[in-house]
């Protein structure tokens, strides 16, 4: 899980950006400009306001975030996860920059979350991600308001990775977006309370992931038994009955008990 998170689309983009030091430094000037503009105005800033705040020429703005820019994050998501990228509309260059700014502003939260989940199971990692995301949104209300409370796209990808082969990133988007809408609706609501409001939906996502993990552990146990030549026939029969019962429980927990009984 950790390896996959450190190899995500957003991680590769971030690492590549830091290697292109000059371009990366220029991009960060415009990310900071976007944050400042959203704090000063109610709504999404336009290109002219961003250029004026950044203090550079319009051509540089288009080099950073224009449709022909070579290193934009959304271009990478459109290539790797196009269905997820469709959830982030880009009617203007400023909008394109806004989605990148959200990832840039969120990255420190993501880094801390990655350190915190080392050694944790998927369930705890998912729940802590929800709290971290709610905390970020509560602290960046102006930015989130400008982006219509869309979660940073990297957080959606991370959540899908942690679920481990469960829902696709584009399907994970909706519960996370609703979580942030809950933060928006109650400015004084603590992030933990906002996360609790999404508990039932989170459980629905985690249940199939937990079932898949249990099945993987069951398969590993079976393989260990079969590879042990010292187990007697009687003991194998007992283990077989136990494994059959465990399998029936797993099928029932994943909503397939009815088909199993049939």
Q: Is residue 15 predicted with pLDDT exceeding 80?
A: yes
Q: What is the mean pLDDT of residues 105-123?
A: 90
Q: What is the mean pLDDT of residues 145-166?
A: 90
Q: Is residue 209 predicted with pLDDT exceeding 60?
A: no
pLDDT of residue 246: 58
pLDDT of residue 126: 86
CA-based nearest residue to 9, from 70, 84, 61, 113 = 84
Confidence grade of residue 170 (pLDDT, cut at 50, 70, 90): confident
Confidence grade of residue 261 (pLDDT, cut at 50, 70, 90): very low
Confidence grade of residue 257 (pLDDT, cut at 50, 70, 90): very low
Q: Which residue has the higher pLDDT, 139 or 237?
A: 139
Q: Which of 57-66, 185-194, 205-214, 248-257 has the lowest mean pLDDT?
A: 248-257
Q: What is the mean pLDDT of residues 80-109?
A: 93
Q: Which of 48-52, 57-61, 160-164, 229-233 has the lowest mean pLDDT?
A: 229-233
Q: What is the mean pLDDT of residues 89-96?
A: 88
State pTM to two decimals.
0.75
């Amino acid at each position: 899980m950790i390896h996959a998170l450190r190899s995500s689309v957003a991680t590769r983009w971030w690492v590549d950006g830091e290697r292109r030091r000059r371009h990366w430094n220029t991009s960060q000037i415009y990310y900071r400009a976007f944050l400042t503009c959203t704090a000063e105005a109610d709504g999404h800033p336009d290109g002219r306001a961003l250029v004026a705040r950044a203090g550079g020429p319009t051509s540089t703005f288009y080099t950073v975030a224009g449709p022909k820019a070579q290193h934009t994050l959304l271009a990478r998501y459109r290539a790797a996860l196009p269905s997820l990228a469709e959830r982030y509309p880009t009617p203007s260059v400023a909008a394109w920059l806004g989605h990148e700014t959200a990832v840039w502003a969120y990255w420190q939260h993501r880094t801390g979350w990655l350190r915190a989940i080392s050694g944790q199971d998927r369930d705890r990692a998912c729940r802590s991600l929800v709290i971290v995301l709610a905390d970020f949104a509560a602290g960046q209300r102006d930015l989130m308001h400008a982006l219509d409370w869309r979660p940073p796209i990297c957080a959606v990808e991370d959540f899908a990775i942690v679920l481990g082969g469960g829902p696709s990133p584009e399907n994970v988007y909706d519960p996370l977006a609703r979580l942030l809408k809950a933060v928006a609706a109650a400015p004084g609501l603590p992030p933990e309370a906002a996360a609790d409001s999404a508990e039932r939906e989170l459980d629905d996502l985690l249940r199939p992931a937990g079932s898949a993990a249990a099945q993987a552990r069951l398969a590993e146990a079976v393989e260990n038994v079969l590879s042990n030549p010292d187990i007697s026939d009687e003991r194998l029969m007992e283990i077989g009955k136990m494994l059959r019962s465990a399998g029936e429980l797993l099928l029932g927990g994943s909503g397939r008990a009815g088909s199993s009984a049939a």
